[in-house]
Structure 1
Amino acid sequence: MDDTQTFDGPKAPGAERSERVTAHSTDAGTKGLVGSDRVLAVLKELARHPDGVGLEELTRVIASPKPTVHRALQSLRRAGLADQDVRGRYLLGDEFLRMAFAHHEARPEHVRVRPVLEALAERFQETVHYAVLDGREVVYRAKVDPPTGAVRLTSTVGGRNPAHATGVGKLLLAHELTTLGEVEEWIGESILERRTPRTCCTAAELHQEFESVRERGYAVDDQENEAGVNCLALPLYATSATVPSGAVSVSALTYRTPLSSLIDAYDEIRSLLGPSGGPIR
């Protein structure tokens, strides 16, 4: 599965109750911030607290004097980008949310992708994601849950996961890293996180996997990101005829939809993607 978040409903046999979320702490890299950088750091921290956050905690995380953080908050409030609830806690403002959702809904790729995701979710009764590559991670731009069903993945638009451990990530990396040397350079001196015993973490493993992806036109996540969850990912050419704009994945609980069932349905999934789908060349 590509979006390792928790899922709602009864626990599946052999499946984990919850899935890991890639956390992004703002503790690192905030020291020494000045001016507008500090305001942006406060804004990003607010996004991590949908129930609001107090001034004391913001001051600690941003690592700046309380009066300075308070001034940043007041600037954001005047612009409608932050607000304060009855408890005195700060949270993102309605104007920020309006702009974010309006921008997201108006993106050309989102307009084109949404009907495809809805068709796939209805056909397979599983969660479908659209994700793009951002460095070493994938970012989920859209998600559609199945219309019915007791168990649904609670992944969120904007969530992130390590690219090497996900179907969408491996699909998009296979398009960019075509030689063993390129894979080795991409990894560099980093130690890739092994999410499960099945996660590919070495250059040799990933290179072999990428070659398979290019040959067959799709990528799989065989419980590599989370035990009990798998997915099939295909490229989507929403904005270019030659370079994938991102990847679409059908993500499923293994007890309910085995990976073999998703692979058997590859041709059908490919046809539902229409002209925007297709194997990597």
Structure 2
Amino acid sequence: MKGTQTHEGATDPGTDGPTDADGGRLVGSDRVLAVLKELARYPEGVGLEELTRVIGSPKPTVHRALAALRRAGLAGQDARGHYALGDEFLRMAFAHHESRPDHVRVRPVLEALAQRFGETAHYAVLDGREVVYRAKVDPPSGAVRLTSMVGGRNPAHATGVGKLLLARHLETLAEVEAWIGGSALERRTPRTLCTADALHRELETIRERGYSLDDQENEPGVNCLALPVYATSPRTPSGAVSVSALTYRTPLSTLVEAADEIRALLGPLGEPHR
């Protein structure tokens, strides 16, 4: 599954820096946050000149933002003078991630799924029009692996986990149409469902059979089967698990045949409580 990265600030030729999503000039804390987000794109660090060019602000402005981040421990500078996310930022991020009860409880299931199928297992939650991957376990062996990552996002309508969770929220065609609104659904592949009618029919099918499929709808050559997880609520799924497989290695039919086995591995996490 491919992750997408977007730049929150585009250079406004009429100002000395980037603009926010509403077209307003980034100032103060907004610019500091823009620099912080840009640093996340450079795990090996980035020089001030390059960061200034990408952010689109004067060098002194970017330098002040970096100084503020360094004082808070959210950015650091190595011997080459390159900047990267700081240890305090990583500590907070991982502490927050690891403390999530759904992530902790689901991970053993993901490990079992990755071991059993030799494919990647995910746990994801719904966030508006996208899914966010909270946990991922790669297979113990295999030369080719998926590029998805924890914290990565994909369109809900194009993924197995996303469609499964949407099926619990959008029960009528009118609800699907309202969810789509005035923004067209992104066509990730020729198989992506991009109309309200097609998505509504798919969600009805998912409710009937109890699992969701992604038949190369998000990325060519990758399919998956997804099931709900009831980690934090007895009746409403907190998220969904999926086995995401390379089609040449594990056909979709193999995953469908194993749906009951996957549900059994989930155990109580996969069953709503009345």
TM-score, normalization by structure 1: 0.89
Residue number in structure 1 paired with 2:94: 101
Q: Counterpart of 1:231 in 2: which secondary structure?
A: strand
* 1:113 paired residue number: 106
Q: CA deviation at 1:33?
A: 1.9
Match of 1:24 in 2: 6
Aligned to 2:249: 256
Structure 1 position 212 matched with structure 2 position 212: no
1:41–1:280 distance in 2 versus 1, CA, 3 Å: farther
Question: Greater RCO between the two (CA within 8 Å, min separation 6)?
Answer: 1
Contact kept, 8 Å, 1:138 with 1:160, in 2: the verdict is: yes
State how many pairs are aligned: 263
Distance between the aligned counterparts of 2:226 and 2:273, measured in 1?
12
2:171 to 167, 178, 185: 178
Structure-2 residue corresponding to 1:241: 234
Give the alignment of 1:110-189 within 5 angstroms. Answer: 110-189=103-182
- Structure 1 residue 115: Cα displacement: 0.7
Deviation readout 1:117-175 (Å, 9 max, x if unpaired): 11111111110000111111111110001112222223211111111111011111111
Secondary structure in 2 matching 1:58 = helix
Alignment check: 8 A CA contact 2:163 2:203 kept: yes
Task: Please say if residues 175 and 280 of structure 1, whose CA atoms lie closer than 8 Å, have aligned partners that are also in contact.
Answer: no
- Which consecutive unaligned segments of at least 5 residues does structure 1 have? 6-20
Contact 1:130 1:141 in 2 (8 A): yes
Q: Could you tell me how far apart the structure 2 residues matched to 1:199 and 1:52 are?
A: 36
Amino acid aligned to 1:173: L
CA distance in 1, matches of 2:80, 2:150: 28
The answer to whether the aligner puts 1:203 opposite 2:199 as a matched pair is no
2:76–2:84 CA contact under 8 A, matched in 1: yes
- Name the structure 2 match of 1:18: none
The 1-side partners of 2:37 and 2:273 are apart by 36
Shift of 1:59: 3.0
Mapped contact 1:22–1:160 kept (Cα < 8 A): yes
Decide which of 67, 73, 78 is 1:80's aligned counterpart.
73
| Conserved? CA contact 1:234–1:279, under 8 Å | no
Give distance in 2, aligned partners of 1:215 and 1:180. Answer: 16
Question: Which of 24, 40, 51 in structure 2 is aligned with 1:47?
Answer: 40
Q: What's the secondary structure of 1:226's corresponding residue?
A: coil
Identity of aligned residues (%): 78
